[in-house]
Amino acid sequence: MIHLEINGKKYDVDVAEDVPLLWVIRERLQMIGTKFGCGIGMCGSCTVHLDGKAVRSCQTPAGSAQGKKIITIEGLPESHPVKQAWVKEQVPQCGYCQPGQIMQAAALLAEDPHPTEKKIVEHMNGNLCRCGTYVSIKSAIRLASAGGKK
Amino acid sequence: MKTDLTRRDFLKMTGTGLAIAVVSTSAGYRLLSAAEMEKERQIFQPSVWLRILPDNSVIVTVNKSEMGQGVYTSLPMIVADELDADWKNVKMEAAPAGDEYKDVAFGMQATGGSSSIRHMYEPLRKAGAAAREMLVMSAARKWKVPAKECAAELGAVRHVKSKRTISYGKLVKEAAKLKVPQNPMLKKESQFRYIGKDMPRLDMDDKVNGSAKFGIDSFVPGMLYAAIARPPAYGAGLATSSKEAALAAPGVRAVVPVPSGMAVLADTIDQAWKGRDALKPVWQNEGYPGLSTGSLQKEFLSRLDTAGIVARNDGDAKRAFEENGRKIEAVYQLPYLSHATMEPMNCTVDVRKDGCDIWVPTQNQTGVQAAAVQITGLKPEQVHVHTTYLGGGFGRRFERDFVEEALLLSVSTGKAVKLVWTREEDMQHDFYRPMNATRIRAALDVDGRVSAWSHTIVCPSIFARVFPQMVKNGIDNAAVEGLENLEYEVPNIHVEYVRIDTPVPVGFWRSVGSSHNAFTVESFVDELAHAAKRDPLDFRLSMLKNHPRARRVLEVAAEKAGWGKPLSRGQARGIAYHLSFGSYVAEVAEVSVDRTSGAIIVHKVTCAVDCGATVNPATVSAQMIGGITMGLSAALKEKIEIASGGVKSENFVDYDLLRMSEAPDVEVHIVKSEEALGGIGEPGVPPAAPAVANAVFAATRARVRELPMRPEAVLAAMKMA
């Protein structure tokens, strides 16, 4: 049995410690916003926050997340500037990678509210989008960084 | 925003709302009320519905799959416009699989060929307009005034003289009793409220808050998770496996052979995957152990010298080549490509004695339903296909291999089954964009005009497997698209198709044959322009005198990109255009090349598109940007490697996609046009690779004739230059 705190709620899950946190979140607890993309930490679809830092939940053993604050896309408030900027810029196409993109971007702005273009690209480069929404993602991050005003 | 509704619900609901069904007949579309439809459904088959509920909501049933291209917004927009609905009351729902939802032009319920709006525009407009006329008529009757004194406006009917208004929701009961007009008056373009305007996507909130349900987000109580061990090479068979060890692994419930390998079923996904590891399969490679990227390339190139089937023959190219003038020849090679949808293949199936439910991200509801009927023995009406959001499609989800596997496993275990492929399975068991080789020869006359164009393409056939009935005279239309309809005004054109069959399965990949033929044609035209010492834009325009739409997109893209104006040191521009799926797209790429490493940086792409009338310009732009990004990804990075008879590429480590650091700014200009609707999902892809290759030439004088243009390929071409 492992004990996890996800989006401020405590969960006891009967699962081996080495099971990826991704499977616990999305398959056991059915919080579906966190996605499986590659299983090797190369696409970022499974990105969640662990104590405020963006991590790949497919590479995080569930056991190692105990005692830490886990935030998923569902735990990021609707009023969060990144989510609002994503809607305003109409970023998603297929939408599959977007929860991971949003979590990655939210972690960046938490650490650096006014990142340079270079820093945005460096920070977001591990998140793949096959639909090609990179330009909109950059605009949305700049918008969120500017407090929602262009 | 998405509701779930079955036909039974629809019929139950008709007492409380107005329902219109568009039914297809051999003569075209007909509109039926629910009562009429219930009466006539054995004869007529509805394909698209709209419902208006007493609470004023307008629900549009969409028979096309949402894979990012925006159909869950653009198709409802068409209905809402003719209906003059208030957009804030418009919702959509995905259609279940059923004959009534078939796309009449396809004869099947499927999404592909950049056709959703093109095929659904007219029937959806009619459905919206008919509903509007019925609502107006009901209000007129209620007020006892002539219908022509009443008008529909933003979800309500207004009587101008008496200044009375009544909402659609209050009229549905009466309107439902009226006969459905068969030829409702459609709006004039100037009356459009939504069509032609940037509209926010209906799927936006779900996709930002994480609640959007993709196939992988399907759950059935008591379901088993399935993982399949698959052979590493084509034609390899299972020699031995530790079935007992797999069965002894925690949570494993069954080990079941399927045609594609050996499946392990367990209570959880991690247990299924660990169970598969425990299986330790040993494969016997009796297939094609010598098959590799190198052996295939050699074979493709050698087939360029064999006679093909003539796909086009204008004038007498052979004679033209015998005349005086310069002869220019080039050979191009392109690799197999993977679709690499971000959501790996998956399917969740619950087969019971009396019916079956399938939750699947599919582009092919008709195919899924047919597979279920075949495998389960159930009747089509007992098969319920729930189309989820698609985490990318690009043609891969037109296939039904992963659906068949899940169906077989649910039948054999008697349980609901969720099958999720790993990224490695997804990459190694795809139906790839075909590898191909092309040789083009041209003759330039003394004035530098192209007098003859002789083109041979060696390419596997997609249609031979998917739609063999569409292979006419041995010609695969996909392999020669953009060639048999080459627009350049050359008096003598000869195109030959050499079909080559390899063990590597091929399928539809966003923009299909245009994804390679635009590269070869537009690269070669550029080579000819330079050989003739002409500006590549002027050279193209001089061969497109009778093709105004092609000229226009080239001119607009060039002008907006500042064609001919100076650039920063080391930067250069390249241009390319292509017609596909009814739309003209020209792109100008601005690149620079690192002369030591050979790395290409694409700074900017300027795109001009003429897709006829536009429904949602925001989506047109998004699709152009997305198509260009995918085109650049293929141009710069993607290549499936074959080794020891199977696919060696595994994951995003050795088959990486374009990343943010490599993605250029993209500027999209929609060229206004009165022409017929064109597609938008695919046409952005084809010009991207040649525009970059032509820009690389402009920057370095090095001609890259193979994709992808990885740094080493650019360096090699620079040495040749």
Whether the Cβ atoms of residue B48 and residue B124 lie closer than 8 Å to each other: yes
Cβ of A35 within 8 Å of Cβ of B342? The answer is yes
> How far away is chain A from the Cα of B386, in angstroms, using its nearest Cα?
17
For residue B269, the surrounding DSSP H or E stretch is helix B269-279
Domains parsed from chain B with CATH numbers: 2-197 (3.30.365.10), 218-285+345-420 (3.30.365.10), 304-336+432-720 (3.30.365.10)
**Rounded Cα distance, B362 and B386, in Å:** 9
| pLDDT for the residue B325 | 83
On the CB side of B518, CA atoms within 13 Å amount to: 31
Q: Helix, strand, coil % (nearest 5) of chain A?
A: 40, 15, 45
**Residue B678, Ramachandran bin (φ over 0: left; ψ between -120 and 50: alpha; else beta):** beta
Taking contacts as CB-CB distances below 8 angstroms, the residues of chain A near B66 are 94
Nearest to B138 by CA among B108, B99, B103, B181: B181
Please give the model's pTM, rounded to 2 decimal places.
Answer: 0.94
Answer yes or no: are the C-beta atoms of B78 and B57 closer than 8 Å. Answer: no
- Which residue on chain A is closest to B273 by alpha carbon? A19
Element (H, E) at A18: none
Reduce the DSSP state of residue B383 to 3 states and report it.
strand
Indicate yes or no: CB of B661 within 8 angstroms of CB of A83: no
Would you mind telling me the total number of residues written for chain B in this entry? Answer: 721
- Tokens in use for B184? 């409702």
The per-residue pLDDT for B156 is 97
Contact with chain A for residue B228, Cβ under 8 A: no
Give, as one character, the DSSP assignment of residue B236: -
Chain B hits for A131, CB-CB cut-off 8 Å, are 68, 342, 392, 626, 629
User: With a cut of 70, which residues of chain B have pLDDT below it?
Assistant: 1-48
ipTM value of the model?
Answer: 0.98
- Chain A residues inside the 8 Å CB shell of B390: 94
Return all residues near B685 (Cβ < 8 A) that are at least 6 apart. B510, B511, B514, B515, B627, B628, B630, B631, B634
Q: How far apart (Å, rounded) are the C-alpha atoms in residues B172 and B178?
A: 10
Measured between beta carbons, the chain A residues lying within 8 angstroms of B422 are 39
Chain A residues whose CB is inside 8 A of the B652 CB are: 38, 40, 42-43, 128
State how far the alpha carbon of B20 is from the alpha carbons of B42, B72, B104, B173, B217, in Å. 17, 19, 18, 13, 32
- Number of CB atoms found within 10 A of residue B57's CB: 19
Question: From A35, which residue of chain B is nearest by alpha-carbon distance?
Answer: B343
Chain-centroid distance, C-alpha B620: 14
Nearest to B49 by CA among B92, B20, B10: B20
Task: Work out the minimum CA distance from A21 to partner chain B, whole angstroms.
Answer: 11
Confirm or reject contact between B273 and chain A (CB < 8 A).
no
How many other CB atoms are found less than 10 A from the CB of residue B143?
A: 17
Question: Which domains can be identified in chain A, with CATH numbers?
Answer: 2-75 (3.10.20.30), 81-145 (1.10.150.120)
Q: Please give the structure tokens belonging to residue B561.
A: 């990109």
Q: Could you tell me how many CB contacts below 8 A there are between chain A and chain B?
A: 168
- The pLDDT assigned to B4 comes to 42
CA angle, B114 as apex, B108 and B118 as ends, to 5°? 75
Are the C-beta atoms of residues B611 and B589 closer than 8 Å to each other? no
Q: Exposure string (b/e) for B413-447, b if CB count within 10 Å is 16 or more?
A: bebbbbbbbbbbbbbbbbbbbbbbbbbbbbbbbee
What is the rounded CA–CA span in Å between residue B1 and residue B204? 9
- Asked whether the beta carbons of B520 and B498 are under 8 A apart, the reply is no
Q: What is the DSSP letter of B223?
A: P
B390–A78 CB contact, under 8 Å = no
Which of B208, B218, B651, B680 is the best mutation test for A, with the most CBs of A within 10 A? Answer: B208
Angle made by CA atoms B623, B568, B606, in degrees to the nearest 5: 15
At residue B600, the 3 state secondary structure works out as strand
Q: Which residues in chain B have their CB less than 8 angstroms from residue A88's CB? A: none
Q: How far apart are CA B687 and CA B522, in angstroms?
A: 8
Is A78 in Cβ contact with B216 (below 8 Å)? no
Q: Among all residues of chain A, which has the CA nearest to that of B632?
A: A132
Looking at the complex, report in whole angstroms how far the Cα of residue B712 sits from the nearest Cα belonging to chain A: 23
* Closest by Cα among B326, B394, B447 to B69: B394
